[in-house]
C-alpha cells in the first residue's frame, strides 16, 4: 500500500486494491503482533518495529487531535448529496444551519438547491460550488459525458479578503456497485464469483482514475494561488489517488481531525472517500465528519481553516 505513492495503477493495479482492505489488514497485523508478544517469540520485535511504518497511514483513517480554540477565517463543507434522493429540503436546512463560507457538492444531478447567503457556481454537471465570496475565474477540468465515463471536476478561483484561492471540486469515476454485488452470502461458489466481478470493476476504474488524477494534478501544479481541494475521490486513504492528489497539500483530517474519518456509510465496511486538502497557507483548525445526520449515503465533511495573510 505504501507503494501506491510510486506505482501507478496502469503499471500494477493490485497495490491499489490492497488499499481498500487496509483496515482489515492492519487489524490482522496488530493481532498477529500481540500473538507473538504473548508467545514470547523474537519475531514479535520485527512485527512491532514494522508497525511504526503504519503510524501515518493509520492516521488517515483514525486520528486524535487536540481541540483548537483559534477563531477560523474560513469554513468549508463538502457533501456528496446522492442526487438529493433523501430530500433536497433536508440538505438545504442542514447546510443553512452550518453557516459555511464555501460548500462543495457532488452528485447534485443538476437539482435546484439553494442556500442562504451563498452564490452558486456551476460549470459542469454533478459538481457545484457555493460561495459567500466572489468567483473571479472558473474552468471545467473533467466533464463526463458518456456511459462509461462519469467523473467530473472543476475549479473556481475565489477572492477572499484581498487574496485569491483556487478551489477544486472533485468527483472521480465511481465504481457503480450495488449492495447486492458486494454482499457475500456464505455460498462459496457464488461468493467467489462476486469477488471476481468486484475485481473486474475495480481494476479498470483504478486505471481511469490515474488519467483523471493527472488532469487535476496539472491544475494544482500550475496554480498561481493556494489550493483547497475537496470532494468525493471514490478512493480510500493510502491509495494512488490519495497520494497523488494530496501531494504537497495537507489532509485536513490528519492535521486537525479526531476519531474515525469514515464518510461513506452505505456499507458496513469503513470507507473514507471524501476529503478536504489545502495548501500550507490555508491551515486546518478543525475537521469533522458529521454522523448526526443522514441526508445522503455520505456524511457531510466540515473543516475550518486559518488563512495566513
Q: Mind listing the pLDDT tens digit of every residue in the chain (309 residues)?
A: 567 778 889 998 888 887 877 777 777 756 776 766 777 777 667 766 666 777 788 899 899 888 888 999 999 999 999 999 889 999 999 999 999 999 999 999 888 899 999 999 988 889 999 999 999 999 999 997 655 668 899 999 999 999 999 999 999 999 865 555 455 555 565 556 656 666 777 888 999 999 999 999 999 999 999 999 999 999 999 999 999 999 999 999 999 999 999 999 987 778 999 999 999 999 999 999 999 999 999 999 999 999 976
Contact 102, 167 (CB under 8 A): yes
Domain membership of residue 214 as a residue range: 134-291
Residue 147 has a pLDDT of 54
On whether residue 92 sits in a domain, the answer given is no
On whether residue 16 sits in a domain, the answer given is no
On whether residue 74 sits in a domain, the answer given is no
On whether residue 301 sits in a domain, the answer given is no
In angstroms, rounded to a whole number, what is the distance separating the alpha carbons of residues 239 and 5? 8
Please provide residue 85's backbone torsions phi and psi, each rounded to the nearest 5 degrees: -65, -25
CATH of residue 265's domain is 3.60.10.10
On whether residue 45 sits in a domain, the answer given is no
On whether residue 66 sits in a domain, the answer given is no
In angstroms, rounded to a whole number, what is the distance separating the alpha carbons of residues 125 and 103? 16
Residue 21 has a pLDDT of 74
What is the count of structural domains for the chain? Answer: 1
Residue 55 has a pLDDT of 79
Residue 192 has a pLDDT of 63
On whether residue 93 sits in a domain, the answer given is no
On whether residue 75 sits in a domain, the answer given is no
3-state helix, strand, coil in the chain (%, to 5): 35, 30, 35
Give the DSSP H or E segment for 265: none
271 grid coordinates: 470507507
Q: List pLDDT tens digits, range 217-250.
A: 999 999 999 999 999 999 999 999 999 999 999 9
118 grid coordinates: 451563498
Q: CA 128 → CA 116, 143, 180, 221, 275, distances in Å?
A: 15, 13, 30, 22, 16
In angstroms, rounded to a whole number, what is the distance separating the alpha carbons of residues 309 and 306? 9
Task: Tell me which DSSP letter residue 246 carries.
Answer: S
Give which of 140, 152, 276, 163 is closest to 226, Cα–Cα.
163
Burial of 141 (0-12, 13-18, 19+ CB in 10 A): buried
Residue 169 has a pLDDT of 98
188 grid coordinates: 462459496
Amino acid at each position: 500500500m505504501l507503494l501506491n505513492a510510486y506505482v501507478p495503477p496502469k503499471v500494477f493495479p493490485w497495490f491499489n486494491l490492497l488499499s481498500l482492505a487496509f483496515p482489515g489488514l492492519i487489524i490482522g497485523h496488530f493481532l498477529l503482533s500481540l500473538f507473538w508478544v504473548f508467545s514470547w517469540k523474537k519475531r514479535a520485535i520485527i512485527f512491532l518495529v514494522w508497525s511504526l511504518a503504519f503510524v501515518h497511514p493509520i492516521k488517515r483513517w483514525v486520528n486524535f487531535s487536540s481541540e483548537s480554540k483559534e477563531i477560523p477565517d474560513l469554513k468549508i463543507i463538502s457533501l456528496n448529496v446522492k442526487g438529493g434522493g433523501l430530500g433536497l429540503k433536508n440538505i438545504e436546512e442542514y447546510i443553512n444551519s452550518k453557516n459555511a463560507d464555501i460548500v462543495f457538492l457532488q452528485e447534485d444531478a443538476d437539482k435546484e438547491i439553494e442556500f442562504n447567503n451563498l452564490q452558486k457556481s456551476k460549470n459542469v454537471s454533478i459538481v457545484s460550488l457555493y460561495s459567500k465570496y466572489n468567483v473571479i475565474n472558473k474552468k471545467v477540468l473533467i466533464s463526463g459525458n458518456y456511459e462509461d465515463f462519469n467523473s467530473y471536476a472543476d475549479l473556481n478561483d475565489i477572492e477572499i479578503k484581498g487574496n485569491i484561492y483556487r478551489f477544486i471540486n472533485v468527483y472521480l469515476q465511481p465504481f457503480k456497485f450495488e449492495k447486492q454485488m458486494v454482499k457475500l452470502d456464505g455460498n462459496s461458489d457464488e461468493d467467489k464469483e462476486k469477488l471476481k466481478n468486484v475485481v473486474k470493476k475495480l481494476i479498470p476504474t483504478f486505471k481511469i482514475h490515474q488519467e483523471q488524477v493527472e488532469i487535476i494534478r496539472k491544475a494544482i501544479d500550475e496554480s498561481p494561488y493556494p489550493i483547497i481541494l475537496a470532494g468525493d475521490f471514490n478512493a480510500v486513504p493510502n491509495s494512488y489517488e490519495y497520494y497523488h492528489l494530496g501531494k504537497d497539500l495537507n489532509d485536513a483530517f490528519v492535521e486537525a481531525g479526531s476519531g474515525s474519518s469514515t464518510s461513506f456509510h452505505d456499507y458496513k465496511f469503513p470507507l473514507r472517500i471524501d476529503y478536504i486538502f489545502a495548501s500550507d497557507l490555508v491551515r486546518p483548525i478543525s475537521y469533522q465528519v458529521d454522523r448526526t445526520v443522514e441526508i445522503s449515503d455520505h456524511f457531510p465533511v466540515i473543516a475550518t481553516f486559518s488563512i495566513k495573510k
